[in-house]
Amino acid sequence: MTTDLVDLIGQLEHEHVEVRAALARVGELPAGADLAVLTATLDEVAAVLVAGLDQHSAAEDTVLFPALGEGLGAVAETFAAEHVDIRAWRDQLYQAATISERLAAGAELRGLLHAHMEREENMLFPSARAVLGAGG
């Protein structure tokens, strides 16, 4: 069980690398890109930013955080709440009616998700490894 969780943390860290690459693709769109260009880019990164991100945050919410229990206290609730916001901005990025709404959602998503992943990597995952006795 503990070994599985330590492996899961490693997998989550690897997925962060993929998410950063996908966010960079969205962030590097040329100024004045139209909806067709944006949609094509979003399609290319959908495996990471839609299904992948949903699975990723679900694994954190339903497997990692509950397994750590009291070890992380209220910190896990903060991360879980951020997952809700992250998915909402991601949905806006993919579904909003206008390009300006989508680009604004993309900017919000990038800012929130980068900060979120950084805190997971610098604080949450090391604490989780310590709780699991796997070192920090």
Residue 53 binds to Fe ion (criterion: CB under 5 A): no
Short-list 64, 65, 86, 19, CA closest to 46 = 19
Residue 65 binds to Fe ion (criterion: CB under 5 A): no
Q: For residues 19 and 105, which CB has a smaller minimum distance to Fe ion in the complex?
A: 19
CB of 90 to Fe ion, least distance (A): 12
- DSSP conformation class of 135: -
| Token reading at 107 | 């900017």
Angstrom distance (rounded) from CA 24 to CA 119: 19
Give one DSSP letter per residue of 18-60, joined into a string.
Answer: HHHHHHHHHHTPPTT--HHHHHHHHHHTHIIIIIIHHHHHHHI
x/- letters, 29..48, toward Fe ion (CB under 5 A): --------------------
CB of 57 to Fe ion, least distance (A): 5
CB of 58 to Fe ion, least distance (A): 10
CB of 97 to Fe ion, least distance (A): 28
Angstrom distance (rounded) from CA 19 to CA 104: 18
x/- letters, 113..132, toward Fe ion (CB under 5 A): -------x------------
Q: Which of 9, 49, 60, 93 binds Fe ion (CB under 5 A)?
A: 60
List residues near Fe ion by CB under 5 A. Answer: 60, 120
